Structure formats: C-alpha cells, structure tokens
Amino acid sequence: MQDDEKNIQEDAKAQAGAQATGAAAKLDLDNLDLTVETVEERISPSETNVFDK
Amino acid sequence: MTDFPITLAFPPQGHFTQPHLAIPCLVAYLRQQGFEDVEQRDLSIEAYDHFLSKDYLSYAREKATARLPLDQSAGELSYKEARAFRAAAETAVSADVLIERIEDAKATLRGEACFDTDAYVPAVRALYHGLRLVSAAHFPSELTPHNFTMAYSNDRSADVQAAIRDGSQNPFLRYFRQEVLPGLVARKPRVLGLSIVYGSQLVPALTLARLVKEALPDCHITAGGGFLAYIGKKLMAAPGTADCLDSIIFHEGEGPLNALCTALRDGTDLGLIGSLTWFDRGGDVPLVVEPRPIENMAMHPLKLDDAPAPDFEGLPFDKYLSPELVLPYDINRGCYYGECTFCTLPTVIGPGYRTRQADTIAGDVVALKARYGAKHFNFITDCMPPGMIQDLPEALIAREAGVTWWSDARVEPRAYTKAGAQRLFESGCRKLLFGYETATPRLLKLMKKGQSLKGISEVSKNCADAGISVTWYAMVGFPSETVEEARASLEFLAQHEGIVREVSLQTFHIDEVSQVYKEPETFGVEMIEVEGADLALYHDYRSSVGMTQEEAAEMFGEMMAGFRRHLPIFAGDTIFYFMQKSHYFLHLASGTTPDEFAERCRVRADERRARGAQADLRLRSGFTVQELPFSYKDAVELLGHPLARAARPDFLTGRFVANAEEEAAARLAPLPRAERVLAYDAENHDFVELRPGGLEVVRALDRAGDFGSLLEQFDAKLPGGPERRARLTHFAAELHRAGLLAGATTQEPVPAGSAH
Ligand code: SF4
C-alpha cells in the first residue's frame, strides 16, 4: 500500500516534470527553420521632405 | 470689426512636430490691420491627432479588415497585389496593439520621454504604423508623417476632382464633415483662407473647400501658398475649381488677403486687389456657365521690417508631437543670391529679396519667447546674406534672447569664419543646413551655385568646431550627372565624417519655373510632355548624357546606404530623429553636443548588434502573430525597389510618372507562396518575420517563461549536444536583436555550446 502510494506520488512528479519540459521536448530542432527577418527603416525620395519650408 | 469673422486654416498634410509659419503671419497682419475676429486652425495637426487616436484606429481596423481581406489562397503575389497584401498583413498583426498603445505613443513624443531613445523609437514607430492602419482603411491612399497620396494624380484636375469626392479612399472627407464642418457652419466665417504650401495639401484643401462652399455659399473661399504659386493659374482654369474656391492669392499673402477681406466687408470691387485671381460669379445674376477666372495685376510685397511678428494665438500647441515648442519665424523672404538653376524658391515667394533688420528679429524673438514661453526657433529663410550672419547673433546676444535656433544657410566662407561660427553658437544657433548639392565642380558651375568645394568644406568645419550641427542638402540626378559623379558626392561626404551629421538627399525634378525647363538645350535634356496633365508642374525628361531618371533613382538608394555607413544618426533606428522635423535639434537645444549625440547613436547601434541570448530573455508584452501565405519582408522589399517607388507619387510631385506602374508590374517578378509568420509587439512596435518553426520555439519559450527556463528543459529532456543548443541560442539572440525578446536586466549572454 505504502509502496503504491509512493509510486503514485512519483508518477505524479514525473508527469509534472514532463509537462514542464514538454515545451522544449516537442521541438524538433534539427528540422525547424529558425530564420528571423526584420525590415529596415528605409528612406525613399517620397519620404524626405524633412526640411522643406 | 468683430462682425466680420475670418477663418484661416492650414489643411493637412504638413509636419506634425511644429506649426507652419504661413497662417500665423497672415493672422498677425490681419489683426494688425484691425480685423479682430480672425480664427486660425492647424487642421493638419488636428487631423493627425484625430486619426492617431484609440477611437479612430478602431474604426480604421474595421474598415481595413473589410476592405483588405488577407487572402490565404492565392498562388503567387504579383507586384500589383503586394501593396494590399502588405497593408492587410500589417493590419492583421498590429491593429489591436496600436489601438491599445497609440495614446501612450503620442504622450511619449510630447513629454520628457521623447529624449529617451529607448522610449522614442518605439513610440515613433507606433505613430508610423498607426498611420499605416489609417491608410489601409483608405487603401490605396497613403498618409504618412511626411506625405499624403492617393491613387489619383495631383497633376490632372479630373483626378483631383474625383479624389475630393471619394469617401472610401479620402480619409479627410469624413473627417472634415464630422469634425470640422459643424464648427465652421456655426461660426459662419465671411472668409475662409487656405494655405496650400505642399502638394500633399491640394486634395485635402479642396475637399474641405467644396464642403464649405456647399454648406456656406456666402463664405468667400480663397487659397494661397507656395504650391499654388506654381500651379494656381492652371488650377483656376481647371474644371471644378469654381465649385471649391472663389479666388487664389499669388505669392506673398498679407497685402492681398487684407485687401480682399476689406473689399468683401465693404462690398467694393475685387478687380482692384493686387495678386488676386478670382471668379466673377456675375453678382446678383448668377452665371449659368462655369465662371471664368479674372487675373488682377500683381501687388508689391510688404516692407518686411514693418510686418508684425507671426501670431500663434489659437493654435493647439499641446497637440504637436514634440516635447517642446519650436516656433517658425521668417527673418527674410526671397533669396539674395537667387541664381541656382535648379531652384525655384525665389519664384515661389514672390519678387525680390526682403529682410527684417537684425534688431527687429531679435526684438520679435524676445517677445515671442515671453508670449508663448517658446525657447526654440526655426528661422525660416532661403538663406541669410553675409551681413545678417554677422548682425543677427550680435543682436540676439545684446538682447540676451536666451533661445536656440536652426535655419537654412548658403555657403558664405566670408561669414561662416571660425569667429563668426562661434558667435552664431553663442547666439543659440545649434544647427545649419547648407546647400552642398554635389562634389563635381562642373555640375556646381552648371547649377550656378557660386560656391566651391573648398568653401563648403571650410564653412562646415568652422561651424562643426563651434558646436553647430551641420546638415548638407545634396542632389542626385542633375542633368548630365554620371554615376561616377554621384559616387564622388558620397566620397566627399565620407571625407567629412564627424563634421556633417545629416544629409537631406533629393532626386532632381524639373519643374516648370526652373531654368532647366526653360532652357533644356543648355542642360542636355528633352522634356516629355504628358497629355491630359492640365495641372502639371513637374516633367519627366530624357537626358542625352549622364544618368537616366531610373539610374538616378537607383543611385539614390546607393547613396542612402552610404549615408548609413558614414552618419551615425542614419546608421540605425535613430534615423527617426532625422525624419521628424526639429527632433534632433531639440536634443542639441537641450545641451547635447553633436558629438555626444552621434556617440549615443553609435552606442545604440552597437548595443543592438552585440545582443546575445541571456537567460532572462522573455517575450515582450502584447506579442501578436499572424500567419501569412507570402513573405512580408519580400513584399516590402519588392515595394522598395526603385521601379516600384517610381510608380508612386512622391511628396514633391504628387503625380504618377507615365507608365511607371506598368513598367514595374512587367519587370518585377511575383513572389512565390511561402509559409511565413509576422510578429509584432506592444513595446518595440516592429514587424518581425519568422517561419512556422520559429514560431514553435517562440511559443515554447513563452510557455517556459524565459529563455533560461527553456534551455533548462531542453538540456534535461533532450541533451541533444552543443550544436542543437547553439541553434537555439542563436535564434534567441536574433529575436533579441530584432526586438521581440527583452531581458529583465542586463545579463551575460548564455554560452552557446555548453550545458549549464
Ligand atoms: S538654392 Fe539656395 S542659394 Fe540657390 S537660389 Fe535657391 S535659395 Fe538661393
């Protein structure tokens, strides 16, 4: 009985651990495309009336 | 004369950081002449403030979503579809965040936080993106902090007339109807004066004018300003104008406007008012045909020294998007030099050169400071003659004006000496903008600039040594200029790194008043006339030598890239300080030296580049994502291509270049389908593109809490070796650099290859 209790407790602990690590565990890092792209602030001739009067 | 209400308005779109000078000058003059009931409205800042509000952006989100569904099914994205795709993608990912944060962004720009770059840059981005949402709601119109364009061209009256009636694309129609017209109808002004200085104001101004004409048929609506000095005559002859305006005032407005108001009040003949072109509507017997414009004789300009200082009373100072007030003040009008073959400023402002005395200027500045508590001034001048460069600082110092100021300047080596520049600094001068144009002596001669490279070098250095920030105006694509010559301009600038802080670059345009237009053979160009462009001001041309217009547009890009390398303000997102009028100047005015500011920009860019993946990195608040069927980044780049840019009217010309849209559509390849994710957040306010795989990692990081926790889980569960760990760490560092992740504190980056 006591052993069972212990097992159950350990199971629960293990499950919680699995959930916590779940986020990372599901990541198949070898096959994920991790490209990050930003768009630089560009100035074009239509945006340069900064100093007109 | 309180029974003769007059309203003078500055229609959208102008700069949102400070008031424009035109209306305050006219108001001051009319009040001085005894008109007591003169109201002034800056409808440009009022409209910006209205559009950039929680309520309006909520309305814009609904309208944009309905107009521009994000189509997930298309096989490829053509150039012609790219603009709508971009607007739809941005709306989908950023609208909610912007609605939530827009008021904070405005508050940031109006307060002390404006001086904190970490707060400033995201706030400016939020305003830009807020305007993109407003634009998406009126697609394909585009309202930015610098321009307003529609699918209609400014150089065709039929287009302009259609634009002012198009409620789905013209945001100002609803705005004026709901927010401006009721007040005007209640006030019943006898005269409404509209100042049209920029091409971007033409459609908004006529939109308002038509509404007022309908609602208040007895109100005389007149318009004037720099842009109308060019096209006013054509506009008066164009169909539909008489439904909007009663008259146009050419060149300097004070005298004619006073005479017009007096004649309307007293019921005397409008035919005697100088510089006025007006519609004779037949008096008591209204005409059945469209009235013909009558052009009066020109009026002599004012003796400027007798003109009152501008009167800003009634402007909504609290609405401008700047932490401190910068008041414009005209020290002179016209250009004492007036020779440059590309320049038409002297034509626009009316005949001759007029100036106020240095002592008058200093007295006015002291009075304006006392009246409005303004410590900063933008002196409006085409350029100061050498005598004034010497006298003005002495007068300001003698009066202990205690102000800072910036202005345009001409290269005058005799005046901008070491000692001269020092006195200018002592009088409060913090920034001067010189017409550099080009490093090629042959072109300087053709431009009749009357200056040498040695001269520009010398005055710039003297000013920089005195602590004055130096900006250069530069030009690319002057007729006959070659690619090598344009590169030489860049090279010469590179030699002045640390002296020149900003460059305002323009591509060359030919307008009808310029000498280039009048003598095309001298410049080796041949004009291309476009049929039906009855309001045309700018002309395309073929050049027998040198760069084509398209090559010049490409060169513009190359030169801007060069500026980013050589000018710290341009190097990263601090370029926003350059782009918002007076914002960099306000830093200088608060005591930061140009060197210190440049260093701050450098440090910021370096810090961003050096960002790593520290353990406490977390997702920024208000993080949102949108899955996309095409690459947003590629679409933005496609639209940034010189061919695509040429297909949109620019702020200067407001017109569509003939066949540019077809040319761009034919030559720019469509984008293939691609699974992409666009991300946005409420703190950094930047668009970042990820792949679905990246989003998985981002979600995992979010669930884990921070990057350190994610790594711990990863190490515990999948001790996949240093390579995988390095990939994860590299990704987090990139997200950090892109601004999507931020650390709670500054910490050491997590080592990439080892478990901890
Ligand atoms: S470019 Fe400057 S100096 Fe030359 S004519 Fe125009 S305002 Fe005068």
Domain ranges of chain A: 2-47
| pLDDT higher than 50, residue B488 | yes
Q: For B322-579, CATH number?
A: 3.20.20.70
pLDDT at site B745: 62
Contact call for residues B233 and B198 (beta carbons, < 8 A): no
Tokens of B116: 């904190």
| pLDDT higher than 70, residue B344 | yes
Mutate to test the interface with B, among A30, A41, A47 (most CBs of B within 10 A): A41
Question: Contacts of residue A31 in chain B, CB cutoff 8 Å?
Answer: 693
B652·A49 Cβ contact <8 A:
yes
* Least CB–CB distance from B575: residue in A36, A43, A52: A43
Q: For B6-43+160-295, CATH number?
A: 3.40.50.280
Could you tell me which chain B residue has the CA closest to the CA of A29? B724
B713·A24 Cβ contact <8 A:
yes
Contact call for residues B291 and B283 (beta carbons, < 8 A): no
Pairing of strands B376-380, B354-355: unpaired
Asked if A2 reaches chain B (Cβ–Cβ under 8 Å), the answer is: no
Alpha-carbon gap, residue B487 to B93, rounded angstroms: 40
Helix and strand totals (H; E) in chain A: 1, 1
Contact call for residues B5 and B188 (beta carbons, < 8 A): yes
Question: Contacts of residue B504 in chain A, CB cutoff 8 Å?
Answer: 48, 50-51
Alpha-carbon B619 to chain mean position: 33
Contact call for residues B229 and B45 (beta carbons, < 8 A): no
Contact call for residues B511 and B229 (beta carbons, < 8 A): no
With bands split at pLDDT 50, 70 and 90, how would you rate the model's confidence at A45? Answer: low
B686·A38 Cβ contact <8 A:
yes
Is residue B340 within 6 Å of ligand 1 at its C-beta? yes
Cis peptide before B13 (omega within 30 of 0): yes
Alpha-carbon gap, residue B132 to B149, rounded angstroms: 12
| pLDDT higher than 90, residue A39 | no
pLDDT at site B655: 73
Question: Contacts of residue B636 in chain A, CB cutoff 8 Å?
Answer: 39
Task: Collect all residues with Cβ–Cβ distance below 8 Å to B493 and sequence separation of at least 6.
Answer: B436, B439, B472, B474, B500, B503, B562, B563, B566
Mutate to test the interface with A, among B93, B650, B735 (most CBs of A within 10 A): B650
Task: Check residue B180 and report its DSSP letter.
Answer: I
Q: What integer is the mean pLDDT of B317-337?
A: 96
Question: Contacts of residue A15 in chain B, CB cutoff 8 Å?
Answer: none
- The domain locations on chain B are 6-43+160-295, 51-153, 322-579, 608-630+673-742
| pLDDT higher than 90, residue B347 | no
**Tens-digit pLDDT profile for residues B227-270:** 999 999 999 999 999 999 999 999 999 999 999 999 999 999 99
Alpha-carbon gap, residue B616 to B13, rounded angstroms: 44
With bands split at pLDDT 50, 70 and 90, how would you rate the model's confidence at B543? Answer: confident
ipTM reported for the complex, 2 dp:
0.86
Nearest ligand 1 atom to the CA of B343 is: 6
Alpha-carbon gap, residue B39 to B493, rounded angstroms: 46
pLDDT at site A13: 44
Percent of chain A with pLDDT over 70: 36
Is residue B622 within 6 Å of ligand 1 at its C-beta? no
Cis peptide before B719 (omega within 30 of 0): no
Question: Contacts of residue B560 in chain A, CB cutoff 8 Å?
Answer: 42-43
| pLDDT higher than 90, residue B361 | yes
Chain B closest-CA separation from residue A1 CA (Å): 31
Is residue B346 within 6 Å of ligand 1 at its C-beta? yes
Mutate to test the interface with B, among A33, A37, A40, A47 (most CBs of B within 10 A): A37
User: Which range has the top average pLDDT, A17-31, B646-660, B693-707?
Assistant: B693-707
With bands split at pLDDT 50, 70 and 90, how would you rate the model's confidence at B756? Answer: very low
Instruction: Tell me the β-bridge partners of B527.
Output: B541
**Tens-digit pLDDT profile for residues B5-20:** 999 999 999 999 999 9
The helix (H) or strand (E) run that includes residue B354 is strand B354-355
- Distances, alpha carbon B502 to alpha carbons B345, B404, B420, in Å: 22, 19, 22
Tokens of A36: 């990050």
Percent of chain B with pLDDT over 90: 81
Task: Classify the C-alpha dihedral B522-B523-B526-B527 as positive or negative.
Answer: negative
More confident residue, B518 or B490: B490
- Distances, alpha carbon B450 to alpha carbons B345, B445, B639, in Å: 17, 7, 39
With bands split at pLDDT 50, 70 and 90, how would you rate the model's confidence at B724? Answer: confident
Instruction: Report the 10 Å Cβ neighbour count for B610.
Output: 10
Task: Check residue B272 and report its DSSP letter.
Answer: G
Pocket test for ligand 1, best of B330, B331, B336, B337 (most atoms within 8 A of CB): B337
Sequence-separated contacts (24+) of B455-458 with Cβ below 8 Å: B455/B411, B455/B413, B456/B411, B457/B496, B458/B413, B458/B416
What SS3 class is residue B498?
A: coil
With bands split at pLDDT 50, 70 and 90, how would you rate the model's confidence at B514? Answer: confident
Q: Do domains B6-43+160-295 and B322-579 have the same CATH topology?
A: no
Alpha-carbon gap, residue B368 to B381, rounded angstroms: 18
| pLDDT higher than 70, residue A36 | yes
Instruction: Tell me the β-bridge partners of B121.
Output: none
| pLDDT higher than 70, residue B720 | no
B691·A35 Cβ contact <8 A:
yes
Q: What integer is the mean pLDDT of B290-312?
A: 93
Which residue is closest in CA terms to ligand 1's atom 6?
B343
How much distance in Å is there from the Cα of B515 to the middle of ligand 1? 13
